[in-house]
């Protein structure tokens, strides 16, 4: 059973993450951070940026690996996860962009990019702390229901529902949302030494309940956190309402 912390709001959750990661970086200046897109981690990044600034923490050696990327979308596209991670993490935290990797969604190389990405994570010594959001269907990264719990980084098809959810970032037009992605596998995610999953709002309540109290099943990919020795799930009261 993962540790579950119920908080009042995203700021309280973000501060818990930020204090833990700030201490990590002070103890290990070349810490490896697992990064996620989506709205759930934004307050956590904001609070971490405040700690870095207020405490003058040296982040010049901090390394980062993002969870996922759209397939076939140019990295310079404003909605690519490369652009999103640059905007929400690399710039506000002052990280060295050369030390932050995002899976390569180029269609010409995608067949081998997954294995190479997992090798790069291993070569960096593994992820110290992986931040995670959760989809309303229980997906983590872009591991949709049915994804193997032992999977490595690989190309995946996006579900219609996920494309609909993300159409808001593409002028509300689902046809502009890529049909495929490259995502760290659940097996990849489970190798991180500490997992921190953040979920807020009533539309995450079912997924949070299935994650924490349902059986371990590929049909709720986040339930794989039950297999991890150090997983922390931080939720607000609405997201915790079905626990």
Cα gap 36→54, rounded to integer Å: 24
Nearest distance from C-beta of residue 27 to ligand GLP, angstroms: 27
Cα gap 215→170, rounded to integer Å: 35
CA nearest to 162, candidates 176, 174, 150: 174
> How many CA atoms are closer than 13 Å to the CA of 75, on its beta-carbon side?
12
Residue number closest to ligand GLP, CB atom: 133
- Residue 221 in contact with ligand GLP, rule: CB under 6 A: no
Neighbours of 37 (CB within 10 A): 27
3-class DSSP state for residue 110? helix
- Residue 147 in contact with ligand GLP, rule: CB under 6 A: no
Known catalytic residues? 68, 137, 139, 144
Judged by CB under 6 A, the residue of 104, 151, 162, 184 near ligand GLP is: 162
Cα gap 157→142, rounded to integer Å: 9
Judged by CB under 6 A, the residue of 10, 14, 16, 40 near ligand GLP is: 40
Judged by CB under 6 A, the residue of 142, 170, 211, 235 near ligand GLP is: 142
Nearest distance from C-beta of residue 16 to ligand GLP, angstroms: 17
Judged by CB under 6 A, the residue of 135, 138, 178, 221 near ligand GLP is: 135
Which residues of the chain form contacts with ligand GLP (CB under 6 A)?
Answer: 36-40, 67-68, 133-135, 141-142, 162
């Amino acid at each position: 059973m993962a540790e579950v912390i119920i908080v009042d709001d995203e700021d309280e959750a973000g501060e818990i993450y930020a204090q833990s990661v700030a201490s990590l970086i002070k103890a290990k200046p070349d810490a490896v951070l697992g990064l996620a897109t989506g709205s759930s981690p934004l307050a956590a990044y904001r609070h971490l940026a405040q700690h870095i600034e207020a405490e003058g923490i040296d982040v010049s050696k901090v390394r980062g690996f993002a969870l996922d990327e759209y397939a076939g979308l140019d990295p310079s596209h404003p909605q690519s996860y490369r652009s999103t991670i640059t905007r929400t993490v690399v710039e506000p935290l002052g990280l060295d962009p050369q030390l932050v990797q995002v899976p390569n969604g180029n269609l010409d190389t995608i067949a081998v990019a997954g294995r190479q990405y997992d090798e790069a994570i291993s070569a960096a010594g593994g992820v110290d702390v992986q931040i995670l959001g959760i989809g309303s269907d229980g997906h983590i990264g872009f591991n949709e229901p049915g994804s193997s719990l032992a999977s490595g980084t690989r190309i995946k098809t996006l579900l219609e529902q996920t494309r609909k959810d993300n159409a808001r970032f593409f002028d509300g037009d689902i046809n502009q949302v890529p049909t495929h992605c490259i995502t760290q596998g659940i097996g990849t995610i489970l190798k991180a030494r500490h997992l921190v999953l953040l979920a807020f709002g009533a539309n995450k309540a079912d997924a949070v309940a299935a994650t924490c109290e349902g059986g371990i099943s590929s049909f709720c990919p986040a339930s794989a956190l039950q297999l991890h020795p150090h997983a922390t799930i931080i939720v607000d009261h609405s997201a915790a309402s079905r626990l």
